[in-house]
Chains A and B, each alone.
Chain A
Amino acid sequence: AQTVTQSQPEMSVQEAETVTLSCTYDTSESDYYLFWYKQPPSRQMILVIRQEAYKQQNATENRFSVNFQKAAKSFSLKISDSQLGDAAMYFCAYFLGGATNKLIFGTGTLLAVQP
């Protein structure tokens, strides 16, 4: 069965600094998708970034980038130039694809941004 592990329950970063959130997953599949979702205090789930496993190039969205290591089954999120609005819970999620498959979430990392 697929599992997603986020080993950092909480992280803290100074405003304007860079922080990396870790995620590892377990799967025997070769083709899948990985996501990072942001959940602010409003509890809305906001897609931050997506990576297709068949792509070797790491995904980037403005200040957010990933380090995707397929062999190591690692998918970390780097936030550059951290802003106060980045403070939130961040969830890593795995998606196998296909007609019916669901997202499998990690337990989340609570990120605090210090002014």
Chain B
Amino acid sequence: EPEVTQTPSHQVTQMGQEVILRCVPISNHLYFYWYRQILGQKVEFLVSFYNNEISEKSEIFDDQFSVERPDGSNFTLKIRSTKLEDSAMYFCASRGAYGYGYTFGSGTRLTVV
């Protein structure tokens, strides 16, 4: 079964450093997403990406965050200057038409120290 692949599975970074989280969505999907889950809390939407541009973003997705699809297969989330409160599980997701195939990756656990 097709999978969404995320790397790394766990990243530890110092406060103020830049991090890039990587995702390979399912190949024939057109809609891409990043979600965040702080430990013990619900999953929150960060950003959606379609047709090579951001289609929607949440209040969380401020100027410190950016997304890119650099080569037609990878989908990245960059945090420019990490804060302690950015520590969370970050999920990439992709989907096909309508609600079908809305699939999550296994997540990247980001720890900011």
Q: Which residues of A contact B (CB under 8 A)?
A: 33, 35, 37, 42-47, 50, 52, 91, 93, 95, 97, 99-108
CB within 8 A of A45: which of B31, B50, B99, B107? B107
CB within 8 A of B104: which of A42, A45, A97, A106? A45
Closest 3 CB pairs of A and B: A33-B99, A100-B55, A45-B104
With a 10 A CB-CB cut-off, give which of B43, B48, B98 has the most chain A CB atoms.
Answer: B43
CB within 8 A of B55: which of A50, A52, A99, A106? A99
Closest-CB distance, B77 to chain A (whole angstroms):
15
Chain B, 45-67, CB within 8 A of any chain A CB? 45, 48, 50, 55-56
With a 10 A CB-CB cut-off, give which of A35, A44, A104 has the most chain B CB atoms.
Answer: A44
Closest-CB distance, B49 to chain A (whole angstroms):
9
Q: Name 8 A/B residue pairs within 8 A (Cβ), A-sorted.
A: A33-B98, A37-B104, A93-B43, A99-B55, A102-B56, A105-B42, A105-B43, A107-B42
Cα of A33 to Cα of B98 in the assembled complex, Å: 9
Closest-CB distance, B34 to chain A (whole angstroms):
10
Do A44 and B55 touch (CB < 8 A)? no
8 more A-B contacts (CB under 8 A) besides A35-B99, A103-B102, A107-B42? Answer: A43-B109, A44-B106, A44-B107, A47-B103, A91-B43, A99-B50, A102-B33, A102-B45
- B37 touches A (CB below 8 Å): yes
Cα of A102 to Cα of B61 in the assembled complex, Å: 14
Cα of A23 to Cα of B107 in the assembled complex, Å: 25
Do B104 and A44 touch (CB < 8 A)? yes
With a 10 A CB-CB cut-off, give which of A99, A102, A104 has the most chain B CB atoms.
Answer: A102
Cα of A44 to Cα of B31 in the assembled complex, Å: 20
Q: Which residues of B contact A97 (CB under 8 A)?
A: 98-99
Q: Which residues of A contact B91 (CB under 8 A)?
A: 45
Closest-CB distance, B104 to chain A (whole angstroms):
4
Closest-CB distance, A25 to chain B (whole angstroms):
14
